[in-house]
Structure 1
Amino acid sequence: MNQEIVKELEKKINNEHNNIAGMVVLKDGKTLYEKYFNDCNNTSRLHVYSVTKSIVSILMGIAMDKGYIKSINQKVLDFFPDYIVKRGEKTIQNVTLKNLMTMTAPYKYNSSVPYIKYFTSDDWVKFTLDLLGGKGEIGKFKYTPLIGPDILSGILIKSTGQSVLDFATENLFSPLGITVEDNVVFHSKEEQLAFNQANDISGWVADSNGVNTGGWGLTLSPLDMAKIGQLYQNRGMWNGRQIVSVAWIDESMKEHSRWEEMNLSYGYLWWIIDDDEHACAAMGDGGNVIYFNAKKKIVVSIAAFFRQDVKDSLELIKEHIEPIFENR
């Protein structure tokens, strides 16, 4: 490999993407590149923000494979029979699991997202259910960064009888050699802010009821992230074991909805980057990303600290990383 080209890449990272903590590149399942920045190393774990959603997508697939969930078209309220629908509220009754997975469920908020009320609530699932529905249109794409995916955590718990972390550990993390040690519960705003900048916490954020977040809150290493990408590259197979079905992998990678404003296609909590090359990505704030390109058999994972107005990690991958490693 031309070390001068790699040096130029690292110079670009240090100058223009200086919040990156680590990056791993796999080709045909083999590690071609592994590099850490900002005093991080291969034991560092960072908050990967919305990459968490794509992990939840895998867990939903596993739950369906195992028969815990019957259909992607089940109504959300089927899983919450004790939930009392407010008088006159009809939309929520027709929202399906597929709507949650494809960001096509309506919510009772627009630009003024009630983050403070959400974070200070004891029950994030109920808080989100209370916001589901309203006058919005079912089937129209509405990206929900935080408030929304927690309902999927509630559905996993209701259907499997396990916590999300326990179910993930048994069926996904342990088989892949990924360690997520424990729940992380915040007792103050300061604890949450510190968590967002930490590189030594192994865990998954949970509310005071022990329900893990669905849209954010998981910490992973770049190597952990690369393993998830390789799992999808392998169409759900890992060391001879089918972790999640080929059918779910294929369905996850199809365009089910589209964010027209950003010109981005969406599968089941995965972004569709290039349909012809079967390239998809899990993306989180700060430039956290798991990218895989099935045609080129390449996986790139980037773990990064949150910063405002960071440069596009996908652009870095497509224009500067993939060209270096795709023919190696």
Structure 2
Amino acid sequence: MHHWLLQAATALAICAVPGVATAQTELPPQLTQDPQSDVPIAIQQLRWVMNDADVNALTFRSMDTLFTTRSVPRSGPIWHLPREDHALNYTYDYDGQSYTPKQFLDRTYTNALLVMKNGHIVYENYRNNTNPQTRFIGWSMTKSLTSILVGIALQEGRIKSLDDRIETYLPELKGGGYEGVTIRQLLQMRSGVDYEERYDFAHPGAAAKNHINALVKNVARFADPARTIKRVETPGKTFEYRTLDTAVLGWLLEQVSGGNTLAGYMTQRLWEPLGAESDGFFIMDGPPGVGREFNGAGYNATLRDFARVGLMMMQGGRANGHQIVPEDWVKMSTAPTEGNGEGGYGMQWWTFGGGAYSAIGLQGQYIYVDPKTETIVVKLSYFPPGNMAASDETAAFLKATSAWSPE
């Protein structure tokens, strides 16, 4: 085709398509308010929708393409996980019906699933173009990793006591709602500060605004509101889930780590001795170069390395020939301080009753541990936002998996 004919055909094709964009997509008004962001508009837009059901199967394992990151590299001998593959030949009951594990995968939006029994991998499945090298966002499973690091820092004497007031270590918090709150109360989500964990982005409150500024626009650090936040009730009185409490714990760890970053401290104290087989990484809040690791919900790792964390916990804090975190810390942090065990909360771990507990992340991320049956389940998912049915069904599957014995 002649050059001018090609140009004409192209022009006609463009004109024939209604509504062809001639400029970059406009940001929602919540992202255009001051302070202004240097993050490219296309990236802000992707971060804005990253949890949505039509893209999250992809975004939840692509966080290093959306965010500035800080690596937590592996080093040294890999902790070998023996395997004895078995079919998951049982059923689970949910909402009056019986289902197979194969049905469970699609019904609960699974990207990857691993089951361990008696220290062996018995089932491992990667879906939606993922593989053993894929690194998945853990969302609030990161809170449980933060708890492990607090236990290590306590053992090392970097933290003197869980009953120390947080401003002893972070004097920047004097005068605000966090003054007088103890490290124990932060771990138990009992700070009493005015921070409702509600992410209504159409009408953003404190938590949603913090998410927008720290993670979408990168104009503030996630923990910054802790400096001036108000108090709504006495510290220690009431459990209320707040990611800001965990962000303050991350700030504490950074402060006591001897000039290290949180990622550096985690590398040396957890990830290397754990025998991880792949590097992990944090997504970063705030402006590049001055932000810190989003330790409330921003850690990414492979399916097997998340399983290694679960196995370490099940073995009383021991992994790959190392006692990484004290056994007493494992018991204390996973014992319920809220609720009666089933549906309870410990120190950044959720409890399921009967001694079982789990790290749980937004929209279907789980490291489930049942020491009595020596069961570990890691499920990495892409639940649609707000889908509680998938969570309830997953709880039924986890219970059935604990009760199952491979043959």
In the TM superposition, residue 9 of structure 1 has moved relative to its aligned partner by 3.5
Aligned equivalent of 1:318: 399
One of 82, 85, 94 as aligned partner of 2:180? 94
Do 2:88 and 2:101's aligned partners in 1 also have CA atoms closer than 8 Å? no
Do 2:143 and 2:348's aligned partners in 1 also have CA atoms closer than 8 Å? yes
Q: Distance in 2 between matches of 1:151 and 1:92?
A: 9
Q: Distance in 2 between matches of 1:27 and 1:115?
A: 39
- TM-score, scaled relative to structure 2: 0.67
Aligned equivalent of 1:85: 175
Aligned equivalent of 1:38: 128
Do 2:334 and 2:357's aligned partners in 1 also have CA atoms closer than 8 Å? yes
Aligned equivalent of 1:204: 282
Distance 1:10 1:152, change over 3 A: same
* 1:56 and 2:146 correspond: yes
Letter paired with 2:142? T
* 1:281 and 2:358 correspond: yes
In the TM superposition, residue 84 of structure 1 has moved relative to its aligned partner by 4.6
Distance 1:114 1:279, change over 3 A: closer
Q: Distance in 2 between matches of 1:41 and 1:306?
A: 19
Do 1:253 and 1:272's aligned partners in 2 also have CA atoms closer than 8 Å? yes
Letter paired with 2:209? I
Structure 1 residues not aligned, in runs of 5+: 182-201
Letter paired with 1:5? N
In the TM superposition, residue 300 of structure 1 has moved relative to its aligned partner by 0.8
Aligned equivalent of 1:267: 346
Aligned equivalent of 2:232: 135
Distance 1:82 1:4, change over 3 A: closer
Over the matched positions of the two proteins, sequence identity in percent amounts to 24
Letter paired with 1:157? E
Equivalent residues in 2 for 1:1-328, closer than 5 Å: 3=87, 5=89, 9-17=100-108, 19-85=109-175, 92-110=178-196, 112-120=205-213, 121-131=219-229, 133-139=230-236, 140-144=238-242, 146-161=243-258, 162-178=260-276, 181=279, 202-207=280-285, 208=287, 209-258=290-339, 264-274=343-353, 276=354, 278-308=355-385, 309=387, 311-312=390-391, 313-319=394-400, 321-324=401-404, 326-328=405-407
Tell me the SS of whatever aligns to 2:133.
coil
Q: Distance in 1 between matches of 2:335 and 2:342?
A: 15
Q: Distance in 2 between matches of 1:213 and 1:40?
A: 24
Structure 2 residues not aligned, in runs of 5+: 1-84, 92-98, 199-204, 214-218
Do 1:48 and 1:217's aligned partners in 2 also have CA atoms closer than 8 Å? yes
In the TM superposition, residue 10 of structure 1 has moved relative to its aligned partner by 4.5
Q: Over aligned residues, Cα RMSD in angstroms?
A: 2.4
Q: Distance in 1 between matches of 2:380 and 2:186?
A: 26
Question: RCO (CA 8 Å, sep 6+): is it higher in 1 or 2?
Answer: 1
Tell me the SS of whatever aligns to 1:63.
helix
In the TM superposition, residue 64 of structure 1 has moved relative to its aligned partner by 0.7
Do 2:278 and 2:305's aligned partners in 1 also have CA atoms closer than 8 Å? no
Instruction: Output one character per residue of 1:164-214: Cα deviation in whole Å (capped at 9) or x when no partner.
Output: 111111111112233675xxxxxxxxxxxxxxxxxxxx5201223241122
The size of the alignment, in residue pairs, is 295
Letter paired with 1:271? W
